Structure 1
Amino acid sequence: MQNEQLPTEDLKKFGIINEDLSFSKKLNENDIQKFLNGYTIVADNDKNRATFQLVENNTKLKVIFLERDKNLSEILENSKKEIQYSETFSKYDLNDEKNAAQLNWSKTAFIYDKENEKITEFDFIKNRTELTAIIADKKDISETNRYKNELQKLKNFLFDKINQYPEIAKEISKDLNIVSKEIDTVNSISPDEKQISKGENSEVHLNVNDKDLYEDANQIRDEKEEQDEEIEKPRGFRR
């Protein structure tokens, strides 16, 4: 890894490195190594979200600014009462070169682990297996129906975008198929009312996901982003 080729001025601008070229103390050694190997830093502040990723052999910093449909503080507080669903959008529909559609959008669920007092964010596409398992484990008809409704909204959204963004229709179709299969999975494991009446519950243990500071960019995503610019896409459409 050629760290001397890092885009230092841009990294300084967003507080990822300091003036002496050391990395921000908000990032631990593991975070730094992930970032240098293509992982994306994600930072949130209220409705704003920013993602930072090193591309082109670590010589360029790719930055995407997004806006959430609700304030993060509101989502975190309400998640203690019930699962919160949220969407983030970019203000731009084209990439920097203006030659291909880049639909920057994602849908996530915030789930509160009461026992450990932690909140974790799950992406509907990347974390679908774990998210569906958690919903199913609750054995709550009302919660299951809420989740299915959110999945259907996502399916409708993707379907509408296929014709609108023909440049990335193939990628959208892949995610559309994923969501459709997940809806089928949820339907096949929907809880039976008789079982629920027995009061069966399971504790869900989630990983720590600390609240981010937008300015400091102090959260590393667990999913490695592709560096091939031809297929660079936002969270909802990246592999």
Structure 2
Amino acid sequence: MHLTEDLLSSVDQPLAVRRCRQTGRDYLLCDYNRDGDSYRSPWSNEFDPPLQDAPASGDDDQSNAAGLPSEKVRRMEVKANEAFDLYRELYYEGGVSSVYFWNLDDGFAGVVLLKKVATPGSGSEGTWDSIHVFEAIDRARLTQYNLTSTVILSLATDSSTLGEMDLSGNMTRQIEIELPAESEAQQIANIGKLVEDMELKMRNLLQEVYFGKAKDVVGNLRSLGSLSESARDQEAQRDIMASMRR
């Protein structure tokens, strides 16, 4: 999928935030809402800075050429932004979300962006950026969804008690699935469910990889108990395992 290659080449940097001049609402910037040095707001459907020779409203041919979705796809984009704005508030309790759709010859594609920055204490900061790029391809009775999701996680702290720590990285996962989609509302529901399930899965994986591995490394560097206590515990575990095999 060519969208996957585009995504993997542009996910090494956290998402930037801009304020929509028409609505006063924040939105996220990415290559998928960009035209030159201008970025399209999902709330107003306007580029900032404005594009020269902007297409007339309702002109699908000119809109597609200028990076704007057709009227039908824009209608779904508006509904998706409303849905993911609620999703963001429920799951992230803050942050910024943006959804962008565009036309394909045999369906449509889009990207769902979510960003949350947390500063729980002095000298501590965490940033979560998730980027979900999908294609929705029309089939005879079903829609094929190709989803590529990337999460960029950054954790940093600098305090007198814990010292300085910076833990950053990203994770990418993909899924392909066919689902019934007989209406625009069902399309939005399918995309929302796929993104929700993928985010939950990736969050659990990140928790295991980041924090579980960090705990193992620290444990190998410095144990809580003495070496003699650790040796006794390991010997007891071996005795138990040996007795279970008899």
TM over 0.5: no
Give the structure-1-normalised TM-score: 0.30
Higher relative contact order structure (alpha carbons within 8 Å, sequence separation ≥ 6): 1
Structure-2-length-normalised TM-score: 0.29
Query: Greater CA radius of gyration, 1 or 2?
Result: 2
